[in-house]
Structure 1
Amino acid sequence: MIAYVTVGADDIARAKRFYSAFLPALGYGVKEGPEGLSYALPLEPNQGPMLPDFYVKPTFDGEPASAGNGAMVAFEVSSQTKVRDLHAAALAGGGADEGQPGFRDAYGAHFYVGYVRDPQGNKIALFCDNANEPGRDD
């Protein structure tokens, strides 16, 4: 089980604008502190943590942050409409398009995904794989 994901950022304010453009729509709340941004899902009384948390932080070694080649973080959403809406919100929040929302031939018939890069260059996927939504071949 993945407990948390951390991405590096050199400009926390710019990263906050990007991630706050779509993560709250997925239920994540944000806390900002001296170590950067912490996005977490809300907890109900007597409930254990909802994983994974997502952190955006300056690098620990003080060197410039860089995006990992081949690394990507994917957020699952409930509908294809939400994929399109959040992809647009991420672009409006300062992200760069890395692949417009749609079906990809390499994945299942209902796998609908859009890709963005955050201001630091980290690749983010927003996807829906809901069999109740229209499929690639419909």
Structure 2
Amino acid sequence: MFSHMMVGSNDLDKAKVFYDALFESQGGKPGILDPKGRLVYAHNGAVFLVTKPIDGNAATIGNGSTIGFAMATTDAANAWHAAGEKAGGTPIEDPPGWREGGGMKLYLAYLRDPDGNKLCALCRG
């Protein structure tokens, strides 16, 4: 359904360190800077971009927004979380672990990136 996801950043150098660590923890490649100055990550058929806002204003986080990254295993989610924390991310909510509700069992690991965007690694049980 989705073609891509994009978040804003006020410091692309710091964002690159953070997102390179996340994607590399899952076997992805470091981001590339495209001709428009955006960081581009392509992995497992999806595209994720990080950019300075084109209107020239500061990047701000989306209140209530979460971007979820699908993980094949709980080990992958834990590696993603550890790599993100080491690269400047902030752990939020409960520690990585299983959550159950509404007939679903999900392994979730939450971080905020250096600009405050809320991210989640998700592995289905």
TM-score normalised to structure 2 length: 0.88
Q: Structure 1 residue 61 and structure 2 residue 55: aligned?
A: yes
Task: Quote how far apart the aligned CAs of 1:27 are.
Answer: 4.2
State how 1:21-60 maps to structure 2 within 5 Å. 21-29=21-29, 30-33=31-34, 34-41=36-43, 50=45, 52-60=46-54
State how 1:96-111 maps to structure 2 within 5 Å. 96-99=90-93, 100-106=95-101, 108-111=103-106
Moved more, 107-116 or 4-13: 107-116
Instruction: Give the alignment partner of residue 117 of structure 1, picking from 89, 112, 115.
Output: 112
- Distance in 2, matches of 1:27 and 1:128, equals 16
Q: State the identity as a percent.
A: 33
Q: Could you report, residue by residue, the CA deviation over 1:9-55 in whole angstroms, capped at 9, with x for unpaired residues?
A: 0000000111111112334332123522000127xxxxxxx2x3100
Q: What is the aligned partner in structure 1 of residue 15 from structure 2?
A: 15
- Distance in 1, matches of 2:19 and 2:103, equals 27
- Distance in 2, matches of 1:23 and 1:107, equals 30
CA contact (8 A) 2:18 2:89 kept: yes
- Distance in 2, matches of 1:35 and 1:17, equals 16
- Structure 2, unaligned runs of 5 or more: none
AA partner of residue 96 (structure 1): T
**Aligned Cα RMSD in Å?**
1.7
TM-score normalised to structure 1 length: 0.80
AA partner of residue 26 (structure 1): Q
- Distance in 2, matches of 1:85 and 1:108, equals 26
- Structure 1, unaligned runs of 5 or more: 43-49, 131-138
Question: Which entry has the higher C-alpha Rg, 1 or 2?
Answer: 1
Q: Count matched residues.
A: 122
